[in-house]
Amino acid sequence: MSILWREKETVGAMVRLFCSGRHGSEELCPSCGELLAYAHARLDRCPFGEGKPVCADCSVHCYKPDMRDRIREAMRYAGPRMPWHHPWRALVHVARSFKKASPRLGRSA
């Protein structure tokens, strides 16, 4: 399983958790759907590829400022709830946060 695929699944779980908690719907609202599509597009273009660090530790800020604020809000809401809703994803994400990207793009430490 690739790191980028796992990151897409994790951000998807976080955005869905945020949307259901804040917007009260089972399906993604248009705004959250747009945010998730944007996050997936950014992951598809990540210059680190499979050596990608978690976004919080990344040296490249690839999100537009307004989208960065939106994903930060979703992650702040969903992050503390992830261990109860998606324990395995939360554990893997925390474990990956200890791994730093090497200075060369596309390589992991």
Distance of CA 56 to the CA centre of its chain: 9
Q: What is the pLDDT averaged over residues 79-100?
A: 76
pLDDT value at position 96?
A: 66
Q: Indicate the SS3 state at residue 41.
A: helix
DSSP character for 48? T
Supply the mean pLDDT for the chain: 83
**Residue 14 tokens, joined:** 């976080």
pLDDT per position as a tens digit, 59-73? 888 899 999 999 999
pLDDT per position as a tens digit, 22-39? 988 889 999 999 999 999
- Which range (21-25, 93-97, 101-105) has the least confidence? 101-105
Task: Find the helix or strand (DSSP H, E) in which 3 lies.
Answer: helix 3-23
Pairs from 19-27 (Cβ < 8 Å, separation ≥ 24) = 21/77, 21/78, 21/81, 22/77
